[in-house]
Amino acid sequence: MDQPGGYRVAPIHRKYILPDMRAQRITAGDKVIIGLQGTYSAMNFGGMLVASGYGQLLNGQPNYGTDRGAFGQRLGAAGIRDTMQGVFTDSVFAPLLHEDPRYYVEGAQYGIAHRALNALTRPVITRTDSGRRAINGAQLLGYAASTALNNAYYPPSNRNVRDNVEAYASSIGGSALSSLLIEFTASFWHVLHLGR
């Protein structure tokens, strides 16, 4: 639906708000739905496969080994980890901290460096429900809770402070790279004349 000024109203449960969209106000219940929908997206499944394949290639944590069964274990662990990150971040902490879990794509009206910096800092800086910028407590706490839960299903060799800090840092870094990808994907399709 188009609005005055050429903006479309973004669907209520849309996780990524494009530059030509106007976001609707969302409730705590909407945040829960956004978190659950985002957990089971094609992009998220792709990320799980890539992370599991990379871990398999390097025999990285979780250290299950390098055989075929190890890849399945890594993929399962990635599924649990990503699900818990989405639930804790968007469905639990965002409502409690009154933060907006959606990502607002800045688009071509901003320079590449500005857009990249905005995307890369997204795991640390977010918007509140009132639109102010704030520390992204929901993501920082959600990823910390998910990392702590890793100890329930990771191998005993990975249940230590160093591996937990490494897992937390890699989750934050992965989130930053994901935001970077989201920020520039729409522009990429536009350049190829394949999408709005």
d(CA 129, CA 95): 9
What residues contact 80, with CB distance under 8 A and at least 6 apart?
Answer: 149, 153
Question: Which pLDDT score is estimated for 77?
Answer: 92
Cβ pair 65, 57 in contact under 8 A: no
Q: Which three-class secondary structure state does DSSP give residue 125?
A: strand
Question: Which pLDDT score is estimated for 37?
Answer: 85
d(CA 16, CA 39): 13
Q: What are 46-83's pLDDT values in tens digits? A: 888 888 888 888 888 898 988 888 999 999 999 999 89
In this structure, what are the phi and psi dihedrals at residue 90, rounded to the nearest 5 degrees?
A: -85, -35
* Residue ranges per structural domain of the chain: 8-45+76-143+170-191
Report the chain (196 residues): mean pLDDT per 10 consecutive residues: 66 91 94 86 81 86 88 91 92 96 92 95 96 96 96 93 95 92 76 53
User: What b/e readout covers 135-169, taking b as 16+ CB neighbours within 10 angstroms?
Assistant: ebbbbbbbbbbbbeebeeebeeebeeeebbeebbe
